[in-house]
């Protein structure tokens, strides 16, 4: 028997959050671009000393949501509040914001230090404060020994770290990062995670967009699932998994060939959701495995060519898939 308990609709927000403490508050944000609804009533909050990860497939509206949070994109309706004010209407509010773009937003001809000087001045850091802010940024990014190296000669991981600390020079309270670990190796990613945890410990509120589920699980205090411009679910990763699977486990059935219509119907009735175009199916089973033998018989009876049946600890991908019916890695 499939463990069906948690297939009933889940609450929109698993963890309630006190809006008064929020550094960033997005309320009922709606945005249409080129006649297409990109954000459809999005609510999200980021508090001080909190890492919130925005998860969703390409085209879900993550980057548009970040642009709206910065005050760069005007929503059609809804409100954006950063540290008590609208960053679009009050430019001085943007002093509390740091934004790390997905691309390497650096000047390749300049050295690490010259890049920091340039961005520091652009962000309004005073001449008096700039030297120690630069030293602080170099230390945070573990880049002190590379201060005089030109950016074009740095490795991908070093550039990514510089890309982040260049947005910290004006000491923002809220840091927004768009895919901060794209294209870096495992070690470089670990160092970036360490850096983000240090910033969280300093009380900085952090909002990250990513496709990387491991990153989300490892870093996030809360994740926000965004799909087709709507928040489908948000909460702490453990809580989300707990709500979705309870004490159950994740079941993955891999087929030798795609199920036909009748077979698909049978699988869906048993509470499974198709993955990878129907070659794999995912669902939840009771953690005691009491029904394992019955499963095999049922699949054989349906005439399905089964290559593998796996039962594993559930993760965020399974949660996302079960909530949205969409795969995350597109």
Partner 1 sequence: MLLGLLRDRGALLMAFVLPVIFFVIMAEIFTATSGANLDLTVVVLDEIKSDVSTRLVAALEKDDSITLRAAGDTDSEALRALVRSGSADIGLILRSDAEPLDEAGGFGPAPLLVVSDPSRGFVEPVLMGRLRRAYFSALPDVAMGNVVAELENQFLTLTDEQRDELAAGLSEMRADAEAGREVGWSFEDLIAHERVAGGETVNLVAYSAGAVAFLFLLFAAVHGAVSLLEESESGVLDRILAGPGGIGVLVDGKFLYVAVQGFVQVSVIFVIAWLFYSVDLPSRFFPWLIVTAAASLSAAGLAMLLVAACRTRRQAQTVANTVILIISAIGGSMVPRIFMPDLLKNLGWLTPNTWALEAYSGILWRGEGLGGVILPVALLLSSGLIGWYVARLLAERRVSRY
Min dist. Cβ of residue 123 to partner 1 (A): 5
| 119 touching partner 1, by CB under 8 A | yes
The yes or no reply on residue 116 touching partner 1 (CB under 8 A) is no
Least separation in angstroms between CB 41 and partner 1: 20
3-state DSSP of 147-173: CCCEHHHCCHHHHHHHHHHCCCCCCCC
DSSP secondary structure code for residue 206 in this structure: E
How far apart CA 138 and CA 148 sit, in angstroms, is 11
Binding partner 1 (rule: CB under 8 A), the pick from 45, 54, 123, 134 is: 123
Residue 73 binds to partner 1 (criterion: CB under 8 A)? yes
**What DSSP designation does 125 have?**
-
Kindly tell me which residue out of 75, 98, 157, 314 binds partner 1, with binding defined by CB under 8 A: 98
Q: Rounded distance, CA 233 to CA 44, Å?
A: 10
Q: Single out the residue of 12, 28, 107, 194 in contact with partner 1 (rule: CB under 8 A).
A: 107
CB 2 within 8 A of CB 271: yes
The rounded distance, in Å, linking the Cα atoms of 326 and 228 is 10
CA 33 to mean position of chain CA atoms: 22
Verify binding: residue 133, partner 1, rule CB under 8 A: no
- Is 208 an interacting residue with respect to partner 1 (CB under 8 A)? no
Residue 205 found at the interface with partner 1 (CB under 8 A): no
Provide the mask over 163-202, with x wherever binding to partner 1 is found by CB under 8 A and - wherever it is not: ---xx--x-----x--------------------------
Residue 122 within binding range of partner 1, rule CB under 8 A? yes
**From residue 148 to residue 167, what is the string marking binding to partner 1 with x (rule CB under 8 A)?**
--x---------------xx
Q: How far is the CB of 178 from partner 1 (least distance, A)?
A: 8
Q: Rule CB under 8 A: choose which of 11, 84, 124, 131 binds partner 1.
A: 124
**Each residue of 228-244: b (16+ CB within 10 Å) or e?**
bbbbbbbbebeebbbbb
- Site size for partner 1, by CB under 8 A? 33
Q: Which of residues 209-268 bind partner 1 (CB under 8 A)?
A: none
- Calpha distance 230→224 (Å, rounded): 10
* Alpha-carbon span 143 to 135, nearest angstrom: 9
Does 103 bind partner 1 (CB under 8 A)? Our answer is: yes
Structure token digits, residue 119? 């961005």
Q: Under the criterion CB under 8 A, does residue 147 sit at the interface with partner 1? A: no
Q: How many angstroms separate the CA atoms of 56 and 250, rounded?
A: 20
Residue ranges that bind partner 1, judged by CB under 8 A: 67, 70-74, 91-92, 94-95, 97-107, 109-110, 114, 119, 122-124, 150, 166-167, 170, 176
């Amino acid at each position: 028997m499939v463990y069906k308990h948690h297939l009933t609709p889940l609450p929109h927000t698993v963890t309630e959050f006190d809006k008064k403490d929020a550094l960033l508050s997005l309320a009922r944000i709606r945005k249409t671009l080129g006649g297409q609804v990109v954000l459809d009533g999005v609510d999200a909050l980021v508090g001080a000393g909190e890492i919130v990860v925005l998860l969703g497939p390409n085209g879900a509206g993550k980057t548009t949501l970040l642009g709206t949070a910065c005050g760069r994109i005007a929503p059609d309706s809804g409100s954006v509040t950063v540290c008590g004010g609208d960053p679009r209407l009050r430019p001085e509010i943007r002093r509390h914001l740091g934004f790390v773009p997905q691309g390497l937003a650096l000047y390749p001809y300049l050295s690490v230090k010259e890049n920091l000087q340039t961005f520091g001045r652009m962000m309004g850091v005073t001449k008096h404060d700039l030297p120690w802010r630069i030293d602080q940024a170099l230390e945070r990014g573990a880049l002190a020994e590379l201060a005089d190296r030109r950016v074009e000669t740095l490795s991908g991981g070093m550039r990514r770290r510089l890309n982040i600390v260049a947005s910290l020079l004006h000491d923002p309270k809220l840091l927004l990062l768009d895919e901060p670990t794209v294209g870096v190796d495992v070690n470089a990613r670990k160092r970036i995670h360490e850096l983000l945890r240090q910033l969280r410990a300093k009380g900085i509120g952090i909002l990250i967009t990513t496709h990387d589920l491991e990153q989300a699980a490892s870093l996030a205090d809360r994740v926000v699932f965004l799909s087709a411009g709507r928040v489908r679910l948000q909460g702490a990763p453990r809580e989300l998994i707990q709500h979705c699977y309870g004490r159950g486990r994740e079941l993955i059935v891999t087929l030798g060939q795609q199920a036909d219509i009748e077979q698909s119907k049978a699988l869906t009735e048993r509470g499974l959701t198709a993955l990878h175009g129907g070659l794999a199916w995912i669902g939840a089973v009771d953690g005691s495995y009491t029904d394992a033998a019955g499963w095999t018989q049922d699949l054989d009876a349906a005439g399905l060519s089964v290559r593998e049946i796996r039962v594993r600890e559930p993760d965020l991908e399974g949660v996302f898939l079960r909530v949205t019916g969409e795969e995350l890695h597109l």
